[in-house]
Amino acid sequence: MAAIVYQTDKRSGITYAYESISFWDKDKKQSRSKRTLIGRVDNDTQQIVPTDGRCRKDKQEKVLLKTGPVVAEISSRTFYGATYLFDKIGEKLGITNDLKNSFPDSYKKILSLVYYLILEKDSPSFRFEKWSALHKHPYAKSISSQRSSELFASIKDDAKNRFFTLQAKRKVDKEFWVYDTTSISSYSKTLSQVQYGHNKEHDPLAQINLALVFGESSMLPFYYRKLPGNIPDSKTVKHLLKELDNLGFSKVKLVMDRGFYSQENINALFKAHLKFLLSASLNLSFIRNNLDKVFNSVRSFENYNDKYELYTTTLQTTWEYSESRVYKQDIAKSSKRVYIHYYFNIEKAAEDEKTFDKKLMILKNEIESNNRIKENENLYAKYFIINSTLKKGIKVTLKSEEVAKAKRNYGYFALITNENMDSITALETYRNKDVVEKAFGNLKERLNMRRLLVSSEQSLDGKLFVQFIALIYLSYIKKQMQQNNLFKNYTLESLLDKLDLIECFEYPGKTLQVGEILQKQKDIYRFMGVEPPSSL
């Protein structure tokens, strides 16, 4: 199929006309097009004038006879299948509408950059111009690297918070919200929040931390914030609660891992009248001492769950709450009801015991061979009686009671909550928090955030926001793929590539037309909860 395509050179303002011929590439199994320059469009007559040295007169006459006077309107043939999916997801989740309300002047640019980030994995911003020429997208124009940097810098906190509020109101009222953090490394020497801290991936670089809040049922993110790289998880909860209060969320249920457990945090959650579900270490005296009360009954037959192949029981107990009251200059104390769910996994206990025994063997060999390691001195003293004589040499005896004490709680783990729920519901709710871990993977790998490549705070804040919007789309698509068992046949990338082949045609004065759609492509749309576009 041949068509006349027009493109304006931004530097000179000249509009050029090309003859575009579409053909099927058998090797790549894609529809391709070949463009041949015909000439430039005369501003007064709107006719195509051959460019010197590039078109012969006979070709000009042939084109003029074929087309007649040319109206300065653009016809185009672009890829549409994947961006159509994003359009519909944006409508379905309210993203487009919420962005429009929060960023009325730039929401189309934000959406186009989001689409580009998702479809062009790891591609730098200067490649957007090429992608834009081949795809139909909300902004419908190219965005240069300089313009994208200006866009990032224009994204302000008040508009972001408006978007967060609008999105959070769309979440399920009674669902838990999963909260977690990750570290993002940076080479920058100018970003104030780039600091050395505990890096979860053992990267030696300085970093910032990124905190995310997800809906546990919807599996979609709706809030994030940037933190200095040296702030530990346990110190972020109070600030999160303040932020949620500022955004107007009074009834919140939070799911968090053991890194957020502290007496201060649990007191803060009670003070804010929020529900919580936290993982808790057995090394904590409060958790360990309460386990003693049910230790002999946990592993009984009636407590065995066949689905998860573990034993479980729930203990209702009290939390000694304290609150410092500045206005009275005293500390108010009271008892709060909490539930501790205990779980015992035989396989985990056996594995932990095996690992511990191997460690003891290594320590024993270090002592007997007189190759002691300074860092292990406390362990030597804790688990062994060491006697040394000139005649018999070094004799090592295991402290059986200490070893038994160390092994006593192997295979156990605990969840603590102030929400009245059974232990299996609590376990399933907590395990759903792995959606955040997967989201962090998407941010770093798919959205090119393994290293921060910006030098100003304003650009960093704006880029993080655009990447966060892209994460919402990715999270929705992955959720639909999991629920419909699509990962058996597709990766996320191959699924999007399958749709990206679908083309659309735009002609002056005519409605948009969509090319051929295969049945497998229609099935993908429906699995995504979207009706396929109408083809020719």
Strand-strand pairing, 513-514 and 503-506 = antiparallel
Q: In 3D, which of 532, 516, 536 has the Cα closest to residue 524? A: 532
* Highest-confidence segment of 11-20, 270-279, 339-348: 339-348
- Between 241 and 498, whose confidence is greater? 498
pLDDT at position 33 is 67
User: What digits encode the pLDDT tens for the residues 91-150?
Assistant: 999 999 999 999 999 999 999 999 998 998 777 777 888 899 899 999 988 998 888 888
**Alpha-carbon dihedral sign for residues 482, 483, 489, 490:** negative
Instruction: Look at residue 419 and tell me whether its pLDDT is greater than 60.
Output: yes
- How does residue 421 score in pLDDT terms, banded at 50, 70 and 90? very high
- How does residue 535 score in pLDDT terms, banded at 50, 70 and 90? low
Instruction: Look at residue 16 and tell me whether its pLDDT is greater than 80.
Output: no
pLDDT at position 335 is 93
d(CA 75, CA 67): 13
Instruction: Look at residue 496 and tell me whether its pLDDT is greater than 90.
Output: yes
Q: What is the residue whose two structure tokens read 């081949």?
A: 134
DSSP classification of residue 220: -
- Give me the mean pLDDT over the 454-467 stretch: 76
Instruction: Look at residue 433 and tell me whether its pLDDT is greater than 90.
Output: no
pLDDT at position 289 is 94
* Highest-confidence segment of 212-221, 247-256, 414-423: 414-423
User: What digits encode the pLDDT tens for the residues 212-225?
Assistant: 888 887 888 888 88
pTM: predicted TM-score of the whole model, two decimal places: 0.70
The pLDDT mean for the chain works out to 82
- How does residue 442 score in pLDDT terms, banded at 50, 70 and 90? low
Cα-Cα-Cα-Cα dihedral of 164, 165, 166, 168, to 10°?
Answer: 80
3-state SS, 354-407, equals: HHHHHHHHHHHHHHHCCCCCHHHHHHHHHHEEEEEECCCEEEEEECHHHHHHHH
pLDDT at position 209 is 76
Instruction: Look at residue 472 and tell me whether its pLDDT is greater than 80.
Output: yes
Q: What is the residue whose two structure tokens read 């993908």?
A: 524
d(CA 160, CA 144): 23
pLDDT at position 250 is 67
- How does residue 43 score in pLDDT terms, banded at 50, 70 and 90? low
**Quick one: residue 53, left, alpha or beta (phi over 0 = left, psi -120 to 50 = alpha)?**
left
504 bridge partner residues? 78, 514
